[in-house]
Amino acid sequence: MANLFFIPQYIISGENAMKMSTEYMKSFGEKALIVTDDVMVKLGNVKKLTDALDEISVSYVIYSGINSEPTHTMIDEGVEIYKKEGCDFLIGIGGGSPLDSMKAIGAVVTNGGSITEYMGKKIEHKLPPTCAIPTTAGTGSEATKVSIITNTNTGVKMLLNDPKLMANLAVVDPTFTVTVPPGVTAATGVDALTHAIEAYTSLKAFSMSDIYALSAVKRIFDNIYEVYTNGSNVEARREMAIAALEAGIAFSNASVTIVHGMSRPIGALFHVPHGLSNAMLLDVCLDYLKPGAVARLNQLAKTIGVYRPGMTPDEGADAFVVATKALLRTLNIKTPEEFGIDKEEFFNQIPKMAEDALISGSPLNTRRTPNKDDIMNLYKKLWDK
């Protein structure tokens, strides 16, 4: 079977990546729309970018109206500014929220209509040139053909998935991530871990995606606790930034599976940050997955060094699941209850969440095919912890 492997046109990584990237940005156009959030402005990261653009005489306008978990109205606003200001390319700087928004704005600029009409549709016309500068080590959005935008009219976190959403240029400078607070560091790191595990155990996994997925899982197991407890360790931050990039490449090519499918509805309805809702689900979903993915989970145990000679594949798979659960415990991931979700309201929403999860298509890539009842049961299990 043949497989298409798809990555950004250019990836520039490492300290000072932004400096090296200006040459490419200059070739993208004359006026950039910078899509970002207020935190990036306050931290001075946007200033670093605009200083670099000033040096190469590229104009820009800043749209900093993106909040966590971007909505369709934020995209409308960005499109309006892009057009009104006569921009001709886009730069997203921030976590996954600004990067996804940047891609969505680009799609509407050249394809018209409203982003709410894009779910499940092919994007016809290519976007203006796009540059993605991540400041969290999590989503991998800088190297994925995915954008996730909430339609607040329907309460659905829309998964937009099209090769045209891949950024032309990804600029991965780990020094941006040093300021990420511990809770966000843990949640975004688990998002990347989930991408890598899901890509590796996806029914759509293949040789090229496996290389990136395995490398990402190893880097994350080796470094996530360190960045969580010692955020100023630049070496560990670098490893996590590369891991998030690798995990993004892996899942963009092999797809995510049940965790992400179930995570998006929790995010849309209860405003749980994406990484955290993945982290809440990862352990129960691994238990569910195990019977269908013993060989793959056994390989993951070997990759992170918890497989012991003489173990059967089943014992190896268990060892990986146990190690992942132990890792999650060290990161103090909140339960839905600790996050402040009302149990009754959550249970009332379970049928809708299970339906939305299945409609997204992601759960069907799981090596053990879930039906609606399986998914409803897994949502309930989140309250047994």
Ligand X SMILES: NC(=O)c1ccc[n+]([C@@H]2O[C@H](COP(=O)([O-])OP(=O)(O)OC[C@H]3O[C@@H](n4cnc5c(N)ncnc54)[C@H](O)[C@@H]3O)[C@@H](O)[C@H]2O)c1
- What residue ranges bind Fe ion (CB under 5 A)? 191
Name which of 78 and 316 has its Cβ closer to ligand X.
78
* Amino acid, res. 73: T
Which span sits near ligand X by CB under 6 A: 130-138, 287-295, 317-325, 374-382? 130-138
Name which of 33 and 317 has its Cβ closer to ligand X.
33
- 152 to 211, contacts with ligand X by CB under 6 A? 176-177, 179-180, 184, 188, 191
CB-closest chain residue to ligand X: 95
Q: Residue 275 Cβ, how far from Fe ion at the closest point, in Å?
A: 7
Name which of 131 and 294 has its Cβ closer to ligand X.
131
CB neighbourhood size of 345 (10 A): 10
Name which of 128 and 248 has its Cβ closer to Fe ion.
248
* Amino acid, res. 303: T
Rounded to whole angstroms, what are the CA distances from 383 to 262, 271, 344, 348, 363? 15, 17, 11, 14, 21
* Amino acid, res. 133: I
- 262 to 301, contacts with ligand X by CB under 6 A? 274-275
**What residues have CB less than 8 Å from 102, skipping those under 6 apart?**
33, 35, 78, 90, 91, 92, 130, 132
Q: Residue 100 Cβ, how far from ligand X at the closest point, in Å?
A: 5
Tell me the Ramachandran region of residue 112: left when phi exceeds 0, alpha when psi lies from -120 to 50, beta otherwise: left
Please report whether residue 36 would count as binding ligand X according to CB under 6 A.
Answer: no
Tokens of 129: 């040139």
Which span sits near ligand X by CB under 6 A: 35-43, 235-243, 303-311, 353-361? 35-43
Give which of Fe ion, ligand X, none residue 96 binds (C-beta under 5 to 8 Å, depending on kind): ligand X
Contact 115, 152 (CB under 8 A): no
Name which of 18 and 224 has its Cβ closer to Fe ion.
224
Tell me the Ramachandran region of residue 131: left when phi exceeds 0, alpha when psi lies from -120 to 50, beta otherwise: beta
CB neighbourhood size of 125 (10 A): 10
Q: Which of 21, 71, 130, 144 binds ligand X (CB under 6 A)?
A: 144
Q: Summarize as ranges the residues that interact with ligand X (CB under 6 A).
A: 37, 39, 43, 68-69, 94-97, 100, 135-136, 138-141, 144, 146-148, 176-177, 179-180, 184, 188, 191, 248, 274-275
